[in-house]
Structure 1
Amino acid sequence: MNVMYEKDMSFEYKLQKPQFVLDKIEDFQFTRKYILNYKLVDYLIENIEDNYEYEIYYGLLIDQLANESESSFSFIDGYIYCHEINHNTKEIFIKSLCKKWQHMWTYIQLKSNLVTEKMDMFLRDIIKYADIDDIVNMNVNQILTRYISSLPYFLRLVTDEEYNEKIIMILDRLKVVFIEMDKVNHENEILNHIYINDMYEINEDMIYVIMNHYSSDSIYNVRRANYTAIKNSKCEELIKYIDKNINEYIEKVFLKLNANDSEAEKIIIELLNNEDIEVENKNKIISETKFIINNINKVNIHLLWARLIENCKIKISWSNIISYFEHFNKQIDEIVINFLNEENNYLILSKQSLSEISEFDNSVVDSISQKIILCKEITIDAFKELIKSIKEKYTEFEELKDSSEDKINILINQGILILSPENYIMLKNNFKNEHIKLLVNNINEYVEKYEKYELDAEDIKKLLKSEIYMNYKVFIIEHIEDVEIISDNYLVDMIMECIMEIDKIKLKDVILENIIKSDIHLKTKVMLLNKNIDSLDKNITFKLLNVIGGKYSDITNYSSKPLLNNNHENKVLAKNLKNKNYISSWSEEKFGIRINTYQKEK
């Protein structure tokens, strides 16, 4: 056989003569994997009492099976649940294994990858067959206690009543406190022990199970009026247990009942105003119970106002917020800020106009409006909505210099920060682009009073990049007067891009001259002259032709016949010069456009 030759064999291999095998092998071989055979173990267990040597062999075999190897556990699993063994053999094997292997349950739960159903089969057999001391010893780091405590169907795990006393002793030794338990529909000795000895956690589900079993008539209201149902249940052990641990009950059950939402506002206010209830529990009632108080002034203890607002337990209204604001030094503190930053809150408040609130002085409303605008901690999403409640318009608001660009942008878009020299200067001095945003959003007002708003090259570039209509861009370009601005080549390019989209423009003469002097393409220079020529007199026109230079300068000389390249811009120039009677005539020739100047001044 393979054992004799030290070769692994199937666990199920049917040994015909296990005694013969045992007679031929040595002690040390019982520490090897190849010794693992179901029939061999059967034979050892069945004959262990009559053979001291077999007892040694069996001990070595159990040592090997407790080594936490995958093959060893596979053998254990197969031997107990796949191999056909009698009750006595199974009991001896499991008892031996539990006695030897302290970390057996730790391995089963954390390392074996068994499905829950199979783990529960192991637990059932451990409870039935292992010694109680060994089970307690197996409870490393409370792992078994925690597993059983969270096993809702534990009372169905071992249904044989003969084990009830042992199970009760195990529960006591492991100090099990059940977290959840399935409904029990019949008298149960173990449940009675659990109930009488408070071996269950105070939580909604366990209370429901206890009440359902011992006072089913009172169960109907337990979800929506929990403590009242308990008091009316006549479950004296339950009532005493909860009364002894009332704060635990309040924190773990009463305050966490999601369905406990039918308490009247008046009752909640009475609880909060009740001086006999600890402040901590009042805070927990506020934090964890579902209710809404319409008027915060009904709560007499002002120190609870912050907690009410913090937990959104007040009606979402500016009246409640202003009441708090007025009472606490007219400051927007962290409590109010957090409340305002909640999406549901700011969306509702955004639909309520501050100007329509009548129960407060206007000065109080104005004060909270300005503090909301200046509050840095209000998120941008909240700010965007809350601003809709403010109808005030500000022509001067110097304090905004420390605000964020996003918030300034919103104030401009909402028309709260309007165009004025003061606002323009404040924005220009403190922000990168917001003064431009102010101009863009109020472009008509700017055009009417443009002389009050100084633009530099960067400002003009940003305006030309903006989405204002072309006519406004042309207006801005036509009113550039500072020659230094035109020294910016990028701005010149932008100006030219705009000009190319229109037919005519009227630049300041000095600006036009300096652009033509700049490093732009010759055709572009001619095009620029063409688009401005309607507003230019002869002297300026000729001056600009001289600035362009080359053959264009010859146009300014009498009795000259310069030949220009034949292209669109030169043709338009020739037409314009003729229309204004600045030249005698022009014609297209084979090699270009001929310009005929006057013989003398005309």
Structure 2
Amino acid sequence: MSKNLQMNPENKDQKQNIPFNSLSPVSDPEKHKFYCDSLEWALSNRKEKDIKNIALSGTYGSGKSSILKTFQETNKNENLKFLNISLATFKEEKKNDTDRYAHLRSENINSDKLSKNDQLRLVELSILQQIFYHEEYDNIPDSRFKKIRSLNPQEVQETTWLLFGLISVLYTFFNFHFLRTLINLPEPKIWFAYTIQGLLAIGGLVLSFYFLRAVVGFSQKLTISKLNFQNLEIQVADKIDKSILNNHLDEILYFFEVTEYNVVIIEDLDRFEQTEIFTKLREINLLINNSKSINRTVTFIYAIRDEMFKDKDRTKFFDFIIPVIPVINYSNSNEQLTRALEKFEYSLSTELIDQVAFYVDDMRLLYNIVNEFHIYFQKFKGEKYQNKLFAIIVYKNIYPEDFVMLGKNQGILYKNLVENKLSWINDASRKIEEENSRLKMELDNLERVLPKNLEELRRIYLMEYMKNANNLSHFRIANKNYSVEQMLEDENFENLKNGSISYRENQYNREFNFKFSDVESRLDPDKSYSDRKTEIENKNAGRVKDIRVRLKQNEEENRRIKNAKIKYLLKNKKISLSSQPSKQEQLIILLVRNGYIAEDYLNYISYFYPGSITERDHWFLMNVRNEMDSKFDYKLDEVENVIKKISESEFERRSVLNYSLLDQFLKSKKFPLKKELFFKQLSNESNDSVKFIYSYIKEDKNSGVLIKTLCKSWIGIWKFIEEDSSLTDGEKSNYLSLILNNAEIEDIENIASTSQLEAVLNAKSDFLSIVSDSKRQIEIIDEFDLKFNSLKWDESRKEIREYIYSMNNYEINPPMLRIMIKEFGEYREEDFNHSNYAAIKLSGCDRLIEYVEKNIEEYINAVYLKLKDNFKEKQAYLLKLLNNSNIKKTSKESIITQTETLLPSLSELEDSKELSDFLIENLKIEPTWKNVIFKYQENENKFSETLTGFLNNPKITKNLVKDSIPTDKELLSFRRDFLLNNKILDELYISYLKTVPLAFKELSFESLSFKKVEALVNELKLSFNQENYNKLRSSFSPIHLIFIILNISEFFKIYSEIVLSESDLAEILGNSMLTDSHKIKLIEKFEADNAISDQKALSLIGKMALKHKELKLSDSNISSILIKSALKTNEKIELFMNNLTPFDKEFITSFLSSLGGDYKQLNEKGPMPYFKNTALLLSFFQYLKQEGKISKIKEKKDHIQVTTFRK
């Protein structure tokens, strides 16, 4: 046995290296140096500074005990003797009822509900016990407190002889014969015997003395509460109602008198939160230090929490206080915890450590968590589940009682982990069941609706009308007859409902003597026509299908609810704790919401034993439940039992992906729901599911069966494979082959509905080699009506080619059409490329032509518009395409855009309004006035934006101006609107005017641009009349002047009706287009009625007068010309001399002043200016002298000197 207990040295070293942490105080001289120095100073100066009570103050777990332990171990002062008292085990001690104060803790008193005084006395008792039990018995021999002590052999021997001697003496002393003989004085012969007996008596007396002395000493230490001997009762003392420390103060003083302790360290006294005990201890300290028998300084050191005393109270109790900075608190506990765990090299989540650290504020608690976690971890061996195991250990240490309750399916954690979840599941399931009940009732009502559509329903109501109306032949609405079939139409039936209807009886019209509401009541008293109509509409609109889908969704939701995880319920706020959760509930929320503690908690508080499944299977289940992945090829032993233990909801997780499970599902029909969920998991298109499928197929393990089964649950399988960029074309082709050769046709059809599978098959030129079975080929072609866009035609059998051609199983595209025409018709390459539609229609391939015509829109987009050189379509076939009602407008527009062929006439289009604008916009009609007029008339005799844009094209203009606009009378409005189209570009408008044959007497040209109006005038498209003139004069000046000049003869005819200003006159006279005769005529007409003042007009008239002397002007206008015109001086003098009329001297003076320069000096007295010598000036000065304006004229060779009067 001893051999088995021996430890191998190597094992011993390994165990010693296990990084456990002791929970006891730790001595750390370096870390606690400052505190130790502070204590040493206080104790060294306790006499001088009168320091008798020292407090080491800090928070719970701040390291006070470690500081005190360090101080005691490192203390070098041999005079300090330490006595340690700790109340850490007080609560455990108080359960012991063997001491003489046990009545305080009797069964009738709850220890947690003791009165304050009783608890205080028990604390005092514990202190007293620790003081006296600390010292050896022999050092306090006179203490009344006795302890069980073991005697050494010598003490046992001495005691034995003492008792033996005492018994002998007593025997001898009480022997009656001996006393009698002693009194009677015995005979001398027996004196020797008497002497011996006397000595024994003396020895007995000495022994008795010592014995009595011991008895007296013992009696001093004994306090007898009560002695009962049947009816005899002796009560000695009852002192429990007093303070125990005060009651045994003599004992305490005696203790310190006979011992050398001078430093008393008291710990954990603050946990009872009673300051009275500190008062008593301070009082005892005072008594001890004042005792003359002790005669030394005794210092009490207290380890207390900061919050023990409020306000300034603690300074009253202590002479010196040393604050302790906490080693650990909420802010740094995560770092301490991480540091403690680093020794074990665990891979715990940093997030978890940070979160739980908030609840760990004590170093001892932290160390114990780490120690327990290591032990559990070594036993559990679940490296993947460290976080969950650690969370359980943390909760166990912080709330151990609730952890124990968890194993009994009780407690706060169990309630929030299990009971709240079950309650929510029941409520959620109940709501779903209520909704299902309502939906099923609605579904039942819809399925019982007899009329399948509105037509049947309306017939029922009409038949009721006919039954209640004799000989009804027709219904009448607004004096028109309607048959029963016609009454089924919406509008007519609404009239029936509104009552605005009668009926025809033989030859007479009759009114119905009942209302529609009466018919409703007869047919169904509970439902109106509107109600039944709504039911049918709902049914026809897919309401039945929607309800069934919803019921299926609810079934799925109910299953998910029943398998919901508590962490998701908490995260999604489906379950919540109280609005003000306790700290414990907050920890529960933290651990549960993050999945650290979950429904599988039993796996972390109990040990697994193999049974229906192996340990290998167990670890796989653990991975599944903790949503942790295993290798796909992880070998399972008891597969069926594993499947049984996996819940339905867990089959929706990626951690369930396993080859063994899949093999079992593929070969067995058991567990249909779980199998469905498993394949649903495979169908979710996640990376893990796809990787699992790919790897399984590569293993060539039942790949055909897998694909067949998978295609039933995953209709998006091909869509995913096709879009998977990680697969090569060869791999995709291989998967396609697996699907086509193994999946059910119905499943392939479903797959095709969600993917491009059909397009892929149509594009597969090697389709016939991918699908190996010929029967399968025909089956797939027929089922999907494949339209191959390419095929390896020459490699296929002739009968297959003919089948594909006859059944139109080819796509309408250039390559396939080319192949078909080449094999089954007449093919011309040039026509095929340049006028494709004509080539097809003339190919002789009737089946192909019919196929194209039925799919003309597809042909246009896939062939006609794809051929780059197809822009020379023949006009006749182009017109057929544009008139084909089966071709969309957009496609026709594309044809128009592509072709270069021009349509000769818009009138040949069957629906010209649809395409005429687009043809015009794209310049794909021949530019003729016929087409322009057609579009104008088609647009309700208006020029559209499109038509105007067409006219604004210079190339179109170049062709149109070659011909004149027809002069037909019915085209008058066209010509008028054409001239008034201000949106035609000005420069092109001028060109178009040449094609307009006639001028307009009336034309509302006010909105035209200036250039257009100018062109109308210049091209003589406006007849000259007062109305046109006034419009031009008011809005388009000075075009009205050109209008006069170009129509001068017509102008003079209506001169009196025309308003002409002096400025207008000036502009006309200045225009070189007008002859001088017309100008003279105009001047004479104008100046006859008007006094002219305009300088420009006067100047022009003056020039005309100089040029044409026959022009007669009024004196006033001549005077105005001479004074105001801009004629040159010589011109004015010449005009003056040509019109010598008796000018008065005042006018002459004004005239000379207007001439300016030296001429102006002639109006002054004395000057003698010089002028150039000309015949005109000489005659002019002579006239002035004649009129007495000047005095002398002196003519010289090159100049004339004129002398004015001096006075």
Q: TM-score, normalised by structure 2?
A: 0.28
Alpha-carbon spacing, 1:166–1:477, altered in 2? closer, same or farther (3 Å): farther
Task: Provide the rounded CA distance (Å) in 2 between the counterparts of 1:580 and 1:504.
Answer: 24
**Structure 1 residue aligned with 2:833:** 223
Deviation at 1:290, TM superposition (A): 3.2
Q: Residues 351 and 388 of structure 1 are in contact (CA less than 8 Å); yes or no, is this contact kept in structure 2?
A: no
Task: Provide the rounded CA distance (Å) in 1 between the counterparts of 2:859 and 2:724.
Answer: 30
**Structure 2 residue aligned with 1:74:** none
Q: Residues 504 and 532 of structure 1 are in contact (CA less than 8 Å); yes or no, is this contact kept in structure 2?
A: no
Specify the SS of the correspondent of 1:395.
coil
Deviation at 1:366, TM superposition (A): 0.8
Deviation at 1:350, TM superposition (A): 1.8
**Structure 2 residue aligned with 1:367:** 973
Task: Provide the rounded CA distance (Å) in 1 between the counterparts of 2:1197 and 2:1034.
Answer: 60
Specify the SS of the correspondent of 1:514.
helix
Deviates more, 1:373-382 or 1:211-220: 211-220
Is 1:425 the counterpart of 2:1020? The answer is no
User: For 1:266, which of 876, 898, 915 is the aligned residue?
Assistant: 876
Q: Identity of counterpart residues, as a percentage?
A: 22
User: For 1:314, which of 913, 916, 925 is the aligned residue?
Assistant: 925
Q: Residues 401 and 426 of structure 1 are in contact (CA less than 8 Å); yes or no, is this contact kept in structure 2?
A: yes
Larger Rg: 2
Task: Provide the rounded CA distance (Å) in 2 between the counterparts of 1:408 and 1:493.
Answer: 27
User: For 1:298, which of 901, 908, 911 is the aligned residue?
Assistant: 908
User: For 1:395, which of 990, 995, 1001 is the aligned residue?
Assistant: 1001
Task: Provide the rounded CA distance (Å) in 1 between the counterparts of 2:925 and 2:1026.
Answer: 43
**Structure 2 residue aligned with 1:83:** none
User: For 2:954, which of 343, 359, 362 is the aligned residue?
Assistant: 343
**Structure 2 residue aligned with 1:539:** 1142
User: For 1:575, which of 1171, 1179, 1185 is the aligned residue?
Assistant: 1179
Q: CA RMSD in A?
A: 5.8
Alpha-carbon spacing, 1:254–1:459, altered in 2? closer, same or farther (3 Å): farther
Q: How does 1:374-413 map to 2 (within 5 A)?
A: 374-397=980-1003, 399-413=1004-1018
Q: Provide, for residues 496-520 of structure 1, a one-character-per-residue CA deviation record: whole Å limited to 9, x for no partner.
A: 4896799536554323323443497
Q: Residues 896 and 922 of structure 2 are in contact (CA less than 8 Å); yes or no, is this contact kept in structure 1?
A: yes
Specify the SS of the correspondent of 2:1142.
helix
- What one-letter code is carried by the residue in structure 1 that aligns with 2:937? E
Q: How does 1:202-213 map to 2 (within 5 A)?
A: none
Task: Provide the rounded CA distance (Å) in 2 between the counterparts of 1:498 and 1:248.
Answer: 81
Deviation at 1:276, TM superposition (A): 3.8
Specify the SS of the correspondent of 1:403.
coil
Deviation at 1:329, TM superposition (A): 2.7
Deviation at 1:261, TM superposition (A): 5.0
Task: Provide the rounded CA distance (Å) in 2 between the counterparts of 1:543 and 1:252.
Answer: 101
Q: How does 1:550-589 map to 2 (within 5 A)?
A: 565-567=1170-1172, 571-575=1175-1179, 588-589=1195-1196
Alpha-carbon spacing, 1:564–1:425, altered in 2? closer, same or farther (3 Å): farther
Specify the SS of the correspondent of 2:1195.
strand
Q: Residues 255 and 284 of structure 1 are in contact (CA less than 8 Å); yes or no, is this contact kept in structure 2?
A: yes
**Structure 1 residue aligned with 2:1064:** 459
Deviation at 1:440, TM superposition (A): 4.1
Alpha-carbon spacing, 1:455–1:595, altered in 2? closer, same or farther (3 Å): farther
Q: Provide, for residues 41-65 of structure 1, a one-character-per-residue CA deviation record: whole Å limited to 9, x for no partner.
A: xxxxxxxxxxxxxxxxxxxxxxxxx
Q: Residues 287 and 311 of structure 1 are in contact (CA less than 8 Å); yes or no, is this contact kept in structure 2?
A: yes
Deviation at 1:331, TM superposition (A): 2.4
Task: Provide the rounded CA distance (Å) in 2 between the counterparts of 1:296 and 1:231.
Answer: 24
**Structure 1 residue aligned with 2:1042:** 437
Task: Provide the rounded CA distance (Å) in 2 between the counterparts of 1:270 and 1:215.
Answer: 21
5+ residue gaps, structure 2: 1-720, 735-755, 757-764, 771-786, 792-811
Q: How does 1:493-532 map to 2 (within 5 A)?
A: 496=1099, 503-504=1106-1107, 508-518=1114-1124, 526-532=1129-1135
Deviation at 1:389, TM superposition (A): 1.6
Q: Residues 545 and 555 of structure 1 are in contact (CA less than 8 Å); yes or no, is this contact kept in structure 2?
A: no
Is 1:329 the counterpart of 2:933? The answer is no
Q: Residues 283 and 304 of structure 1 are in contact (CA less than 8 Å); yes or no, is this contact kept in structure 2?
A: no
Deviation at 1:448, TM superposition (A): 7.4
Deviation at 1:424, TM superposition (A): 1.6
Task: Provide the rounded CA distance (Å) in 2 between the counterparts of 1:349 and 1:251.
Answer: 35
Task: Provide the rounded CA distance (Å) in 2 between the counterparts of 1:223 and 1:534.
Answer: 92
Specify the SS of the correspondent of 2:833.
coil
Deviation at 1:431, TM superposition (A): 1.9
Q: Provide, for residues 524-565 of structure 1, a one-character-per-residue CA deviation record: whole Å limited to 9, x for no partner.
A: 574343342465242148775332146979999xxx999663
Q: Provide, for residues 180-232 of structure 1, a one-character-per-residue CA deviation record: whole Å limited to 9, x for no partner.
A: xxxxxxxx999x99x96669xxxxxx977888899987544332123565799
Task: Provide the rounded CA distance (Å) in 1 between the counterparts of 2:981 and 2:1051.
Answer: 29
- What one-letter code is carried by the residue in structure 2 that aligns with 1:566? F
Alpha-carbon spacing, 1:501–1:567, altered in 2? closer, same or farther (3 Å): farther
Specify the SS of the correspondent of 1:223.
helix
Task: Provide the rounded CA distance (Å) in 2 between the counterparts of 1:262 and 1:353.
Answer: 31
Specify the SS of the correspondent of 2:1107.
coil
- What one-letter code is carried by the residue in structure 2 that aligns with 1:593? I
Deviates more, 1:214-223 or 1:574-583: 574-583
Deviation at 1:422, TM superposition (A): 2.4
Q: How does 1:61-140 map to 2 (within 5 A)?
A: none
Task: Provide the rounded CA distance (Å) in 2 between the counterparts of 1:484 and 1:168.
Answer: 106
Q: Residues 1170 and 1200 of structure 2 are in contact (CA less than 8 Å); yes or no, is this contact kept in structure 1?
A: yes
**Structure 2 residue aligned with 1:593:** 1200
- What one-letter code is carried by the residue in structure 2 that aligns with 1:415? L
Task: Provide the rounded CA distance (Å) in 2 between the counterparts of 1:253 and 1:534.
Answer: 95
Specify the SS of the correspondent of 2:1200.
strand
User: For 2:1021, which of 410, 416, 435 is the aligned residue?
Assistant: 416
**Structure 2 residue aligned with 1:108:** none
Task: Provide the rounded CA distance (Å) in 2 between the counterparts of 1:270 and 1:210.
Answer: 23
Q: TM-score, normalised by structure 1?
A: 0.51
Greater relative CO (CA pairs within 8 A, separation 6+): 2
Task: Provide the rounded CA distance (Å) in 1 between the counterparts of 2:938 and 2:1177.
Answer: 77
Task: Provide the rounded CA distance (Å) in 2 between the counterparts of 1:445 and 1:431.
Answer: 20
Alpha-carbon spacing, 1:231–1:593, altered in 2? closer, same or farther (3 Å): closer
Q: Provide, for residues 107-162 of structure 1, a one-character-per-residue CA deviation record: whole Å limited to 9, x for no partner.
A: xxxxxxxxxxxxxxxxxxxxxxxxxx9x98699xxxxxxxxxxxxxxxxxxxxxxx
5+ residue gaps, structure 1: 1-132, 140-162, 170-174, 176-187, 200-205, 357-361, 598-602
Q: Residues 480 and 508 of structure 1 are in contact (CA less than 8 Å); yes or no, is this contact kept in structure 2?
A: no
Task: Provide the rounded CA distance (Å) in 2 between the counterparts of 1:372 and 1:231.
Answer: 43
Deviates more, 1:537-546 or 1:379-388: 537-546
Q: Residues 296 and 305 of structure 1 are in contact (CA less than 8 Å); yes or no, is this contact kept in structure 2?
A: no
Q: Residues 920 and 950 of structure 2 are in contact (CA less than 8 Å); yes or no, is this contact kept in structure 1?
A: yes
Q: Provide, for residues 346-386 of structure 1, a one-character-per-residue CA deviation record: whole Å limited to 9, x for no partner.
A: 22222222245xxxxx4421110001111222222332222
- What one-letter code is carried by the residue in structure 1 that aligns with 2:835? A
Task: Provide the rounded CA distance (Å) in 1 between the counterparts of 2:1133 and 2:868.
Answer: 78
- What one-letter code is carried by the residue in structure 2 that aligns with 1:347? K
Q: Provide, for residues 62-113 of structure 1, a one-character-per-residue CA deviation record: whole Å limited to 9, x for no partner.
A: xxxxxxxxxxxxxxxxxxxxxxxxxxxxxxxxxxxxxxxxxxxxxxxxxxxx
Alpha-carbon spacing, 1:223–1:494, altered in 2? closer, same or farther (3 Å): farther
Task: Provide the rounded CA distance (Å) in 2 between the counterparts of 1:239 and 1:471.
Answer: 81
Deviation at 1:419, TM superposition (A): 3.3
Task: Provide the rounded CA distance (Å) in 2 between the counterparts of 1:445 and 1:540.
Answer: 40
